[in-house]
Amino acid sequence: MSVTVVLLLAAVGLLIAALGTGHAGLAWGSVALSAVAATLILRRWRRSWLQRQDVLEDELVLLLEDESVDAEPGEQPLQLGSVTAAQEVEPGLASAENTQSGDTEPGEEDTDAADLLVVYELVDEVLVVDEHPRYHLARCRCPDHARAERLPVREARELGFTPCNRCRPDTTLARKHRAARATAAGSS
């Protein structure tokens, strides 16, 4: 913070000197120092914002883990994905698909427009594998975890990766972000 204050005071001093002497170089020096100070302020603000988001995310993960631990032993935790028509009509095909998860490429998740807008704002990491079109959540069984790389979901989208239909990362991340936002708004 003190570096920022010193830079701003120097910028003001250069601006006063530029106005008093009429030298344009001093004015440009003032602009440059102001830009450096603004950059430092924005970087500090972004870092604190990301730390707040990480804390909210960690709290949400702990909450979700607690809910899955509290479930009855025979009870399965709530799945976020929806049932497809193939699973409703022909359960044999659905089970065959699950056994061959490593052999076939998963389909693309049909992302809701509202979820897509939320996802483009997120910095949460997803897994991608070179030369495979989908990105996945860390818990997904589809990607080869030995070759998978972690990327922010926004960057994965920009690089042309699309969401996996099995782990439904867009829906999951958007729901998690909304829950964290609601929790933060409720505690304020």
**pLDDT above 70 as % of the chain:** 72
Per-residue pLDDT of 135-167, as tens digits, reads: 999 888 888 888 889 999 889 888 999 999 989
Helix (H) or strand (E) holding 128: strand 125-128
* Count of beta carbons in the 10 Å neighbourhood of residue 51: 10
State the pLDDT at residue 79.
46
Helical segments of 71-137, H only: 85-89, 91-99, 113-119
Per-residue pLDDT of 42-91, as tens digits, reads: 998 888 877 777 666 666 666 666 555 444 455 554 444 444 433 343 44
Domain boundaries, the chain: 1-46, 105-187
Cα→Cα distances 44→32, 39, 61, 122, 125, Å: 19, 9, 26, 18, 21
